[in-house]
Amino acid sequence: MERIPILKMGEYLLVTIQVDMHDRLALTLQDDLTSQIVKHNAHGVLIDISALEMVDSFIGRMLGSIASMARLLDAETVVVGMQPSVAITLVELGLSLKGIRTALDVEKGMASLRGALSDSKRNGASNSQH
Amino acid sequence: MVHRILSTEQHQIRNSEDVVEVRQLVRKKAISLGFGLVDQTKMVTASSELARNTLDYGGGGTASIELVENGRRSGLRVIFEDQGPGIPDVDLALTDGFTSGNGLGLGLGGAKRLADEFEISSKPGAGTRVSILRWK
Amino acid sequence: MAEASALASSSRSRLANLLYQREQDIAENWLKRQEKSMRRLSASERRESERQSREFLGLMRNAASESMDASSSAWEPVRDFLTDFSALRAKSGYSPSETATFIFSLKQPLFEALRDECGKDADALATEIWTITELLDSLGLLTVESFQKTRESVISRQQQELMELSTPVVQLWNGVLALPLIGTLDSARTQVVMENLLDAIVKTRSDFAIIDITGVPVVDTLVAQHLLKTVAAARLMGAECMISGIRPQIAQTIIHLGVDLGGVVTKATLADAFSLALRRSGASLTSAAKNILSAEN
């Protein structure tokens, strides 16, 4: 069965979504990510959506679910590379993606995760939300 | 609204792969009409919301993608139809955040905001018909 | 009505016949008339005109052998030719009359040839002239419509380009963009401008964008909404938008309109916003740079 590949990058996991996902594929991704976070004791998840030309409420909910589940497993999530036309459409749609960190690209996403991690180490508490 | 229909293409909505195909078809038609990227994305996203509604709440149905003309304007219209249980209170359903099942609502309000023209007719037991249109 | 159809079928073959037998005369006569009613053409323009005219007569001859109804499928090649012809003329800077003249100046040459053909038969001549007049008039209208459509699309494209040119995005620093908005903003222009800003954010990988509205005299609800939507979209993408240049009157308008700026950073001057962006991006300011910024305040 087709799956979206998950790459391990140090203590982070990188997911690059390059296909127009149907619902089952999206749900499989959620499951895969959860098990991979646990398996590698990952502290951060980067979801690269720079190839996505559309994000609807279903995908928005998927991103939110991933972020929530990751947080329960002590990992922070950042969504990177959202295209301007997608962002404009999401604003019009009324989808806020609250509680999800975003960054312009993978490099800035990692910097954001590093900042989040050092914050949490300093505070000794769980990661704060966006 | 009376518009002249230049062409129409229908697609079944039976499963989630169909939802993907419908939005890819909408993208293709929007590009052929010369829509800018943002307008394309708005129609594709609205279509995705409505196609998913047709599948999840309507038990499956059809999407009809039409190139229309009204005087000097040309536009893209997509009509979603199902023979499902229908929506008891359409006005309530159009309110943001309305939930009849699990999830964040029917996406109707969002689809309406992304389109220039929006029409819906639905009665319990008589299915649902939603139409969205965007002018070039 | 047998008589009418007999007349009609003879009309069909008459025009087609005319064009078969007298094409050279008609073409020469026609070209002369076209040139008379237009501005002076260069040698290459004249050659092109000649080529187009001959091609058109050929297409017309073929169509007329089948039907005298300009809207029928037999005349589609003629209609397509005229649509392309007018569009080309519109883009090349010809006037609407110069373009329509192509068709209308064909009337006289055809009538003269007809008169020779019909000889003493006045009824036949009258019927023929009327049929051909109807035909050429509808083709002439098609030409004008096509010209119009092309002109409109050229103008709207030029307007678009003008909008994009007149509001450039400026890179103030590594990772900090500024968009100084000047003049009144209408809905269409604001949308284009905002899309350009978001594209620039991606291209320059800027974490901060400052929209400066010092030069905007009036901010109405629509403009305010566009500004807010842009800020929200930039945030979704991972960049921070600030709004600077809010004059007291604008501030009052925004409050009165009930627009909720919900968490958007606003500063009175571009310099303030720039200073904040630099601080947030972790850049350290030397005292020289600090002086420059405070001088601008």
Per-residue pLDDT, A10: 92
Per-residue pLDDT, C154: 85
Per-residue pLDDT, C122: 85
C60 at A interface, C-beta within 8 A: no
CATH class of A6-123: alpha beta
pLDDT value at B15 more than 60: yes
Which CATH number goes with the domain that contains B48? 3.30.565.10
Percentage of chain B surpassing pLDDT 70? 90
Per-residue pLDDT, A128: 46
Q: Give chains near C: 3+ CB pairs under 8 A.
A: A, B
- Choose between B30 and C43: higher pLDDT: B30
- Mean pLDDT is lowest, of A71-75, B5-9, C149-153, C155-159, for C155-159
At residue B79, φ and ψ (nearest 5 deg) are: -115, 125
**CB contact at 8 A, B105 and A61:** no
ipTM higher than threshold 0.85: yes
- pLDDT (tens digit, 9 = 90+) per residue, C278-288? 998 876 556 55
Q: What's the whole-number average pLDDT of chain A?
A: 90
What stretches of chain B show up as alpha helix (H) in DSSP? Answer: 16-32, 37-56, 90-94, 108-114
Chain C residue with minimal CA distance to A107?
A: C205
Q: What's the whole-number average pLDDT of chain C?
A: 85
Q: Domain count of chain B?
A: 1
| Rounded CA separation A72/A31 (Å) | 14
Residues 233-252 of C with CB under 8 A from A: 233-239
- pLDDT (tens digit, 9 = 90+) per residue, C48-82? 889 999 999 999 999 998 888 888 999 999 999 99
- Count A/B contacts: CB-CB distance under 8 Å: 62
Per-residue pLDDT, B17: 94
| Rounded CA separation A3/C4 (Å) | 73
Per-residue pLDDT, A98: 80
Per-residue pLDDT, B104: 41
pLDDT value at A50 more than 80: yes
**CB contact at 8 A, C282 and C248:** no
3-state SS of chain C is CHHHHHHHHHHHHHHHHHHHHCHHHHHHHHHHHHHHCCCCCCHHHHHHHHHHHHHHHHHHHHHHCCCCCCCCHHHHHHHHHHHHHHHHHHHCCCCHHHHHHHHHCCHHHHHHHHHHHHCCCHHHHHHHHHHHHHHHHHHHHHHHHHHHHHHHHHHHHHHHHHHHHHCCCEEEECCEEEEEEECCCCHHHHHHHHHHHHHHHHHHCCCEEEEEEEECCCCCHHHHHHHHHHHHHHHHHCCEEEEECCCHHHHHHHHHHCCCCCCCEEECCHHHHHHHHHHHCCCCCCHHHHHHHHHHC
Categorize the per-residue pLDDT at A129 as very low, low, confident or very high, splitting at 50, 70 and 90: very low
Chain C residue with minimal CA distance to A85?
A: C195
Q: Is the pTM here over 0.90, yes or no?
A: no
Chain C residue with minimal CA distance to B38?
A: C195
Reported as half-sphere exposure (CB side, CA atoms, 13 A), residue C14 has a value of 23
**CB contact at 8 A, C82 and C143:** yes
Question: Nearest Cβ partner of B38 from C149, C152, C195?
Answer: C195
| Rounded CA separation C180/C294 (Å) | 20
Residue to test with chain A: of B25, B28, B41, B114, most A Cβ within 10 A: B41
Domains of chain C: 2-158 (1.10.490.130), 170-296 (3.30.750.24)
Percentage of chain A surpassing pLDDT 70? 94
Which chain B residues are Cβ-neighbours of C191 within 8 angstroms? 38
Q: Mark yes or no for CB contact C199/A84 under 8 Å.
A: yes
- pLDDT (tens digit, 9 = 90+) per residue, B86-132? 888 888 778 766 544 433 455 888 899 999 999 999 988 889 999 99
Residues 50-109 of B with CB under 8 A from C: 72
- pLDDT (tens digit, 9 = 90+) per residue, A105-127? 999 999 999 988 777 777 765 44
Question: Which residues of chain C fall short of a pLDDT of 50?
Answer: 1-7
